[in-house]
Amino acid sequence: MAEWKKRGVLLAPGLGGDWGPTHAALPTPLLGEDDRAELFFSPRDSAGRGHIARAEIEARPDGTLALLGVDPKPVLEPGLLGAFDDSGATASCAVRSGSGVYLYYTGWTRGVSVPFYFFVGVALRSEGARQFVRVSQAPILDRSAVDPYLTASPWVLREADCWRMWYVSCTGWEITSSGPRHRYHLRYAESEDGLSWERTGRVAVDYANASEYAFSRPCVVRDEDGYKMWFSVRGDEYRLGYAESPDGLTWRRRDEAAGLAPSAHGWDAEMVAYPVVFEWKRRQYLLYNGNGYGRTGVGYAIAEDSE
């Protein structure tokens, strides 16, 4: 597997105006046909609610990435009072569908007996538009018999007539000395249209040991050798994880091959989180967050064998 060469911060926090003065979490690219791409990410407002912002980035001839600008308004705001996403919306995956784009996201709700709930939503952008419009005020992955607690953080691939999703599912809450703590791992679902999903409870990547209790959004890439998945997982702090599969169903964890660890000091010394890997202009890139779940911005790395 590739070893990654870090190139520093690409997108600093604080670019979201009064609706997003802190954080720049969950980088979510949407590649175009030229040297520019869209980059969705999630800043937080003064109440801590996530919004989804849009930036443009550029791949330069030497392989470095450059930020070209950030839209002055979010492309998706928190939902209506009482809705599943009224406490925040955070980006997860963008997929082209016909002339439009589906933006899969996590909607947040504050809890009472537990600190929060979240569920998977989707919004659609029509051709020529900047803003996304929710397909429904309800989540597309609500609680169910197979996902009784919460769902979140989907990654979606469209393959022929099948849409495939790998997502976070909670397996329960436990009481700790600092309060209730969630436990969630990664599961799999399928769809014919990208909107109505069939779930059987199939586990994609499970906890490796008792100290692990939370997985981040997965990023799944298919190539001639099969499927590769990057994610972050914690105990104390998020670290990069990696898995491989011949079919996208049965996965083997190889975290030692993830190829990126926290730095000795600086913006990503405490954690590396929310990775997304993509091929662009004959190079392989990895975008990720560092300390504080996006508090220090979005950084990137380039696979050394593609430079």
Pick out the chain residues at pLDDT < 70: 1, 307
Residue type at position 6: K
Q: What is the model's pLDDT at position 301?
A: 97
* CATH code of the domain covering residue 145: 2.115.10.20
Q: What is the model's pLDDT at position 17?
A: 82
Q: Which structural domain range is residue 106 located in? A: 4-306
Q: How far apart are CA 13 and CA 294, in angstroms?
A: 8
* Dihedral (Cα; 180, 169, 152, 12), 10-degree rounding: 70
Domains: count for the chain = 1
Q: What is the model's pLDDT at position 160?
A: 87
Q: What is the model's pLDDT at position 13?
A: 95
pTM over 0.85: yes
Structure-token pair, residue 175: 């009481």
